[in-house]
């Protein structure tokens, strides 16, 4: 079982909100981790969006709009990237990441967001 | 402007060696960790390893340990990723990224290089 699992794809309409989830493998407690989120558009390197561990431990990437925000769902053992007021330019792949055991960074498989 | 500029695309044959570079500018190179990330075409991101240019402390993902070598030359603000014997499965885009600061190796990747495409084919 992968350390981080993301849905392969998600569709949303302009102006709507979308929640992208990043589920941690059983036995890895989401409460203990900073979840990092990245956005990658076709043909470009990923860009750093934000980091979220708790409301007192979070960081927005430089220049990242506030309509991108992070949270957690403890019951689902998952990190969440919420995108509000979706725009066509938000169509991209989104990756979550944590620093796991042996001091290694691990990425989720990515979610492709399509704006219909 | 803070940026990481990587060397150009490479086309190599299996068994050949290769060293790609990542030059930093706009910040003090020695105090931020540099990580390397692989992306096979059409696939996701994989973390390869990390180096602290200040003292060349280097760590590898178990998946890449022994397969690549990460190094840095702080006198010219440049990090490197090298292979001694390439395989077709090494075909991918490779990104250098600015990571954690100082003692905190486990930071976010806030600055990304433009990527170096490595193609290994006979």
One pLDDT digit (tens) per residue for chain B, 122 residues: 999 999 999 999 999 999 999 999 999 999 999 999 999 999 999 999 999 999 999 999 999 999 999 999 999 999 999 999 999 999 999 999 999 998 888 989 999 999 999 999 99
**Beta B69-73 vs A47-54: how paired, if at all?**
unpaired
Tell me whether A7 touches chain B (CB under 8 Å).
no
- Nearest residue of chain B to residue A45 (CA atoms): B114
Helix (H, G, I), strand (E, B) or coil at B10: strand
pLDDT band with cut points at 50, 70 and 90 for residue A102 = low
CB within 8 Å: B44 and A109: yes
> In the structure encoding, which two tokens stand for residue A80, read together?
């969440």
Reduced to 3 states, what is the DSSP secondary structure of residue A84? coil
Using CA atoms in the order B49, B32, B114, A100, what is the torsion angle rounded to 10 degrees? 40
Distance CA B60, CA B66 (A): 9
**Cα–Cα distances in Å, from A108 out to A44, A82, B3, B10, B98?**
18, 16, 25, 28, 19
Q: What tokens appear for A50 in the block?
A: 């934000």
Residue A53 CA to residue A73 CA, distance in Å, equals: 11
Cross-chain Cβ contact B112/A46 below 8 Å: yes
CB pairs under 8 A between A and B: 51
Of A59, A107, A110, the CB nearest to B47: A107
Q: Which residues contact A8 (CB under 8 A, 6 or more apart)?
A: A109, A110, A111, A112
With beta carbons less than 8 A apart as the criterion, state whether B20 and B6 touch. Answer: yes
Q: Do A47 and B62 touch (CB under 8 A)?
A: no
Mean pLDDT of chain A: 96
- Interchain pair A110, B105: CB under 8 A: no
* A 84-113: CB under 8 A from B: 95, 97, 99, 102-110
Report the residue of chain A nearest B65, measured CA to CA: A104
């Amino acid at each position: 079982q992968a350390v981080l699992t993301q849905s392969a794809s998600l569709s949303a309409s302009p102006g709507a909100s979308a929640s992208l989830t990043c589920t941690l493998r059983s036995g890895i407690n989401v409460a203990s981790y900073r979840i990092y989120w990245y956005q990658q558009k076709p043909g470009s390197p990923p860009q750093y969006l934000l980091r979220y561990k708790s409301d007192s431990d979070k960081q927005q990437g430089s220049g990242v709009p506030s309509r991108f925000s992070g949270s957690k769902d403890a019951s689902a053992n998952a990190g969440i990237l919420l995108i509000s007021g979706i725009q066509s330019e938000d169509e991209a792949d989104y990756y979550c990441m944590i620093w796991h055991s042996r001091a290694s960074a691990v990425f989720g498989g990515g979610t492709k967001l399509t704006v219909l | 402007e803070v940026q990481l500029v990587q060397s150009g695309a490479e086309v190599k044959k299996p068994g050949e060696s290769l060293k790609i570079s990542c030059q930093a500018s706009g910040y003090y190179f020695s105090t931020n960790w540099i990580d390397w990330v692989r992306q096979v075409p059409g696939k996701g991101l994989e973390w390869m390893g990390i180096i602290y240019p200040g003292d060349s402390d280097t760590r590898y993902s178990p998946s890449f340990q022994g397969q690549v070598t990460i190094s840095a030359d702080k006198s010219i603000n440049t990090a490197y990723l090298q292979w001694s014997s390439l395989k077709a499965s090494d075909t991918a885009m490779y990104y250098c990224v600015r990571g954690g600061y100082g003692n905190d190796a486990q930071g976010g990747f806030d600055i990304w290089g433009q990527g170096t495409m490595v193609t290994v084919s006979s």
